[in-house]
Structure 1
């Protein structure tokens, strides 16, 4: 297969004109010639080596018609050593100096084959050592390639010695290939659509980008308007999409998150030394994409603009949310100096706010029977903790349970970073008030103060996005004394009731007697299937307080890969079901309500009526004891 450079160069005339400049330790070559490929062009190598005869460079980048070719450490070491050799040998042997500029490997062989000053200079300059490690120019001088406005590069050599596992075309037009590698984690190789543009399209894109950067074009449709301004003809949707990605969007992250299998993207500092990493269906993978330091800085600026939060050496951490061009919401955690060696980020797809309990039944996350029990428990004001490990789907399940509250219930949601579906709930006429803690800018309200405020904002359900700190004792004290007699819902890290109890009582210092105010611990899991990563309900445990203290009784637990009833409810043994009964109801009435709810949820799932608006319409007239 021909390289990207060969493909872009095939139909273009040759010229040897170029200009070399140094930018903060990087030798930049602006190429006007055929391709500027240092591996195949002695003339281009000579231009670079002669520039390096005057001073060393940490990086070498060739720019040509909208693309940048960035050479790695081995190639830079060879070219830099050749530059030092030329500088030292020129006064003694002009012919050898000229050969070293055009063909450093051949010049090294000639210099070291004969005794005398040339051999000594080859050793002194380091050229002999570097050349000995290089098989040929294709080995040392195969560059990473990137669109000049993207601040990211594709490493085309990363797939060497890798076995293709699968290919997927993404909505952005890019292509994702996953490779198994014998001695490392799998490789997620992105064929970025930007690099498939023809040279004239790239130049048009650069003009449009300049129009946006200079403020010549502004407004909501800035990308399409900029392309229209510089193009002689109809707007190309692909050019518009690529421009939007690199102006209003998050660059190559737009491509990565266009893959529905990708849940996390990690930018590790220093970015020049580390590829982006992704989590695909729960599996960690390296990518063939590197950000430049400028690219990391551009991401930091984008996070500051979209979140409104400070992020600098004076405030070196950030926790925010962002929305990509395709509408995908991501949670952003970032660090910078002095707490890290440069800028680093973790981007994680936010909980999907499109899910409802019927949707989770339809996609086999849980059975209709288990969903019905949770629905009735939430509607009847149970105190529920949704537990699980990182990425298990705790927030997604918590968000779906909020639709199960009675339509007239006043709900106050406390979160440090907005992830629960407050907006979608409000859009279907639910009374939901959000409270934010830890904004990172200006005056803040602590989690415990937010909780106390929430208890004064109206009598209704209380939702804590994640229970993890000082708010825990306050929350449990409020539950214990009955300050909030309605539903209390939250997520917590832990795998099962015993782990949650240990976390709440031992780590968060909640008295065991107060923990007894919890009614249910609902555990979710993420697991891998041949078709990819899935999530499931793993267990529903009721909290029982007796003479021996707190214990957990399973109501639903995994049988195979599906949560199945333990028959504790059917045998009349569930203390919670007994407590859920209204003043005029019996245990049997609650069981009947659960069975009716099971039929209703199963019907909605089977009919495909799972969207929030459809579910809310069905729930509108739903009352207790349906």
Structure 2
């Protein structure tokens, strides 16, 4: 005889005796949940149940009891590693039920008991009645709140997240949202993008954490505690912690999840696992703002929210990995970080008193695996355009790479460093490391990095960096993003010729005219100094049927005549790709003329560009685009 049959028979007997309501009352009150108040939140430790207020009457009973004498802004339940946060409608309903029960007192024990677990039914019963009890239902707000709610499931919706992750995911979706695409990420999570008619797109993350079974969540929590308490330490702490709590070989999924929430950047690991995501914004106060992302150049809202503890945990992680102060005494931070998958991100953060709590902007660093042949292969740069840039850089041009945020300026600049002759000494000046210094050094390029700052700690200023760079050897000078003092540094380098070698940098702007205005008017560089620029290369993002891509939009040469400066296009967009304007072929380009060697003529540079076009096309077609393969192909450049 099965236990289910016995239970069913017992229930039938109880119902025949008319004692069913007593059994229900006993079940409703049999909740072992414990409640506490944190700030304006009611927190329910629902370890003995699932914490689902929509389906668990005992949990609702506990919550309403707690709300009989106190108002709250939100309700959180925590159960077996899962944290659920309930929104305004649910809080209003249960809060009104608490007020109703408190005002009702001992006037009607039945309604008081039912009101703690089924307030919608009580509201429906009293809505058409008159008398003292009905007046209490109106006074408490129960009838008004319940009038717009058709079920507990619709009112008591919750956002969900792991307790150790300090985030929660909103499952609500606008009725008019239209699914545009789904992508499974390497972390195991799934990203869905929805178009919304009245707002920016929604980037909805289905986090792999939520797929864990109750047993797996318990093992995850125990592993987390083992690391937190120092029972398990070392580089392999996550996998060893899982082995410690299970007594078995580590579950790869549990290891990945535990790793991202202990040694990694938590939910940001999932967001940046999407190769389309370039930026992640955590806006303060985090309790009111969802995390936002930039996907292929388009800004989107996510369904992910950090808790205040989550924002503080991020701040602690940034301090630990960057070694930089970040507190009320030092309320801004600018650093770099490495994700669990090895990708690098730039971090800019603010906190009190300059912001309402902790806020961050995370930006994926340029992929240091790219080379110029790789950009030819993926369609970012046509082979002919790439060949011109290659020859210009090899022959020591002074060039600025311009574009808007996320347009690929740093990526293109990084690829051009491989185009310098292998024996060229290169000094890179950056405030935040982004250029591929280590990959260049790994293929036997002589690259020295200098880190600048604003006087915080042991960093040096851009002016000091320039003086140092010019003493570090005869070679090319590369200045990272130009925002302020870097402009004067760069143009001083161009003015003195940086030892007659290439000078390169990136700057925010759209075209040579825009860059000139920014450099001369905003950054206060003399117009005559700007004339030391040979080329302005503009890159941009553009929409394609497969999303947003990056491309070189135009290349302009800087013309200086007496006191006048103007710009001529050498390559510009024709449809989707940049093509020659004919200025070089007509023999009119001043930069091509300047690039000729002492024993060469203009035509020699044109031939070099044509030959370089063939070389880059062949490398791209053959798939020989890695730094090592490109370095090997360029090994004989610059040799007599």
TM-score range, shorter chain: over 0.9
CA distance in 1, matches of 2:532, 2:412: 21
Which whole-Å deviations, capped at 9, do the CAs of 1:455-494 have from their partners, x for residues lacking one?
2222211111012212323432342244542110000111
Q: Does 1:51 align with 2:71?
A: no
Partners of 2:477 and 2:498 within 8 A in 1 = no
Q: By how many angstroms is 1:168 displaced?
A: 1.1
Residues 440 and 259 of structure 1: CA distance in aligned 2, closer, same or farther (over 3 Å): farther
Q: Partner of 2:15 in structure 1?
A: none
Q: Partner of 2:505 in structure 1?
A: 490
Structure 1: which 5+ residue stretches go unaligned? 1-12
CA distance in 2, matches of 1:90, 1:315: 53
Structure 2: which 5+ residue stretches go unaligned? 1-26
Partners of 1:112 and 1:118 within 8 A in 2 = no
Q: Does 1:165 align with 2:180?
A: yes
Residues 195 and 474 of structure 1: CA distance in aligned 2, closer, same or farther (over 3 Å): closer
Q: By how many angstroms is 1:115 displaced?
A: 3.5
Quick one: which of 32, 54, 72 aligns to 1:17?
32
Misfit runs of 4+, over 4 Å = none
CA distance in 1, matches of 2:321, 2:143: 51
Q: Does 1:319 align with 2:319?
A: no
Q: Partner of 2:205 in structure 1?
A: 190
Q: Partner of 2:577 in structure 1?
A: 562
Q: Partner of 1:132 in structure 2?
A: 147
Q: Does 1:200 align with 2:215?
A: yes
Q: Partner of 1:10 in structure 2?
A: none
CA distance in 2, matches of 1:123, 1:370: 74
Q: By how many angstroms is 1:237 displaced?
A: 0.5
Partners of 2:398 and 2:502 within 8 A in 1 = yes
Q: Partner of 2:367 in structure 1?
A: 352
Partners of 1:54 and 1:83 within 8 A in 2 = yes
Q: Partner of 2:394 in structure 1?
A: 379
Q: Partner of 2:271 in structure 1?
A: 256
Partners of 1:310 and 1:440 within 8 A in 2 = no
Aligned pairs (5 A) from 1:158-307: 158=173, 160-307=175-322
Range with bigger deviation, 583-592 or 206-215: 583-592
In our comparison, the structure showing a higher alpha carbon Rg is 2
Partners of 2:587 and 2:602 within 8 A in 1 = yes
Q: Given the two structures, how large is their TM-score scaled by the length of structure 2?
A: 0.92
Residues 480 and 35 of structure 1: CA distance in aligned 2, closer, same or farther (over 3 Å): closer
Quick one: which of 59, 62, 72 aligns to 2:77?
62
Q: By how many angstroms is 1:444 displaced?
A: 3.5
Q: Partner of 1:571 in structure 2?
A: 586
Partners of 1:318 and 1:440 within 8 A in 2 = no
Aligned pairs (5 A) from 1:512-551: 512-547=527-562, 549-551=564-566
CA distance in 2, matches of 1:221, 1:196: 24
Partners of 1:309 and 1:440 within 8 A in 2 = no
Q: Partner of 2:631 in structure 1?
A: 616
Range with bigger deviation, 21-30 or 532-541: 21-30
Q: Partner of 1:582 in structure 2?
A: 597
Q: Partner of 2:97 in structure 1?
A: 82
Q: By how many angstroms is 1:576 displaced?
A: 1.1
Q: By how many angstroms is 1:112 displaced?
A: 4.5
CA distance in 2, matches of 1:121, 1:529: 61
Q: Partner of 1:337 in structure 2?
A: 352
CA distance in 1, matches of 2:625, 2:497: 35
Partners of 1:389 and 1:525 within 8 A in 2 = yes
Partners of 1:25 and 1:57 within 8 A in 2 = yes
Q: Partner of 1:71 in structure 2?
A: 86
Quick one: which of 398, 423, 427 aligns to 1:412?
427
CA distance in 1, matches of 2:464, 2:191: 46
CA distance in 1, matches of 2:216, 2:133: 48
Q: Given the two structures, how large is their TM-score scaled by the length of structure 1?
A: 0.94
Quick one: which of 128, 137, 142 aligns to 1:113?
128
Which whole-Å deviations, capped at 9, do the CAs of 1:283-323 have from their partners, x for residues lacking one?
22111111111111111111111111111111111111111
